């Protein structure tokens, strides 16, 4: 039986670990041709080799890297259908008055500017080729129901959600869909930053206690949501923020 993403081509940013690696894995399992990008040559190469997909080092805050990713997708697979903007960054949980300019810039460059650049570079490709497109942003419950100590990370993810809704309306006539997936905190390479302390089961208890289903999100949870939104099953779904949060935002 054909996979749910059979014949589709996807770019997954931040695909060398965590949610990104989980998304890439699910997409390959469902028949997609996948190009992952990551800042880490080592991590990205390892994931790509294990999945049999393509990899390219890329900084999602640089326009030239997005142009290079589009060229790579076309050269390797003949086109592009799906972009998953998964790459993200945060500073360590701290009082807002102690946040530095570098902390702020990190959040907005990686979390928001990357969305701007991906749309700026990729939308013309979809429109010029009269090709339906699918953008999926990995936002966060932090942009919907924020916790203290991460003000500007929370604000950056709220910006992602709002931009996603705006572009969903603007580009719907072109059959280009925009959706966001909003995970609650899970165990990834950034969890210690969200906690502001080491990522241990004990330290995660305070976060997990606010999740009705009693655990954090996993790469599999996020990947399953992304697979649905990227598939033809979701052809009438655009502009949503899909909360993958065990009830946290209720």
pLDDT band at 220 (very low <50, low <70, confident <90, very high): very high
Q: Domain range for residue 163?
A: 9-238
Instruction: Kindly report the length of the chain.
Output: 250
Residue pair 9/33 in contact by the 8 Å Cβ criterion = yes
Q: How many domains does the chain have?
A: 1
CATH number at residue 153: 3.40.50.720
Helix axes 151-171, 101-108, angle to 10 degrees: 30
Write the DSSP symbol of residue 186.
B
Q: Work out the average pLDDT over 28-46.
A: 98
Q: Work out the average pLDDT over 217-238.
A: 98
Is 74 contained in some domain?
Answer: yes
Is 168 contained in some domain?
Answer: yes
Is 247 contained in some domain?
Answer: no
pLDDT band at 1 (very low <50, low <70, confident <90, very high): low
Catalytic residue, candidates 91, 125, 153, 171: 153
Q: Which whole-number Å values give the CA distances from 46 to 28, 49, 89, in the listed order?
A: 15, 5, 21
Q: What is the mean pLDDT of the chain?
A: 96
What are the tens digits of pLDDT across the range 176-216? Answer: 999 999 999 887 778 889 888 888 888 888 888 999 999 99
Share of the chain above pLDDT 70, in %: 100
Q: Which whole-number Å values give the CA distances from 221 to 56, 132, 243, in the listed order?
A: 25, 26, 11
* Owner of token pair 């959600």: 161
pLDDT at 233: 98
Is 1 contained in some domain?
Answer: no
Q: What span, in angstroms and rounded, lies between the C-alpha atoms of 209 and 91?
A: 23
Write the DSSP symbol of residue 185.
P
What are the tens digits of pLDDT across the range 160-186? Answer: 999 999 999 999 999 999 999 999 988
Is 153 contained in some domain?
Answer: yes
171 is an active site residue:
no
What are the tens digits of pLDDT across the range 49-99? Answer: 999 999 999 999 999 999 999 999 999 999 999 999 999 999 999 999 999
Is 246 contained in some domain?
Answer: no
Q: What span, in angstroms and rounded, lies between the C-alpha atoms of 66 and 82?
A: 14
**Both tokens assigned to 235:** 């052809």
pLDDT at 195: 84
Is 250 contained in some domain?
Answer: no
Q: What span, in angstroms and rounded, lies between the C-alpha atoms of 136 and 148?
A: 26
Is 3 contained in some domain?
Answer: no
Q: Which whole-number Å values give the CA distances from 52 to 12, 35, 55, 57, 79, in the listed order?
A: 14, 10, 10, 16, 18
Q: What span, in angstroms and rounded, lies between the C-alpha atoms of 36 and 57?
A: 9
Residue pair 163/224 in contact by the 8 Å Cβ criterion = no
């Amino acid at each position: 039986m054909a996979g749910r993403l059979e014949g589709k081509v996807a770019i997954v940013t931040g695909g060398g670990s965590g949610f990104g690696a989980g998304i890439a894995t699910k997409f390959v399992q469902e028949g997609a041709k996948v190009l992952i990008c990551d800042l880490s040559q080592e991590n990205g190469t390892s994931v790509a080799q294990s999945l049999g997909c393509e990899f390219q080092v890329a900084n999602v805050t640089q326009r030239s890297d997005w142009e290079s990713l589009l060229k790579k997708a076309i050269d390797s697979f003949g086109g592009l259908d799906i972009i998953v903007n998964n790459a993200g960054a945060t500073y360590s949980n701290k009082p807002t008055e102690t946040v530095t300019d570098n902390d702020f810039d990190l959040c907005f460059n990686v979390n928001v500017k990357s969305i701007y650049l991906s749309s700026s570079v990729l939308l013309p490709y979809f429109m010029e080729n009269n090709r339906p497109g699918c953008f999926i942003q990995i936002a966060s419950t932090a942009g919907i129901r924020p916790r203290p100590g991460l003000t500007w990370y929370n604000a950056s993810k709220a910006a992602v959600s709002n931009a996603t809704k705006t572009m969903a309306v603007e580009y719907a006539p072109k059959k280009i869909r925009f959706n966001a997936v909003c995970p609650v905190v899970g165990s990834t390479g950034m969890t210690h930053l969200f906690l502001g302390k080491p990522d241990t089961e004990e330290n995660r208890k305070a976060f997990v206690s606010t999740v009705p289903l009693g655990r954090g999100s996993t790469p599999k949870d996020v990947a399953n949501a992304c697979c649905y939104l990227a598939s033809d099953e979701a052809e009438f779904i655009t502009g949503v923020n899909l909360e993958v949060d065990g009830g946290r935002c209720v």
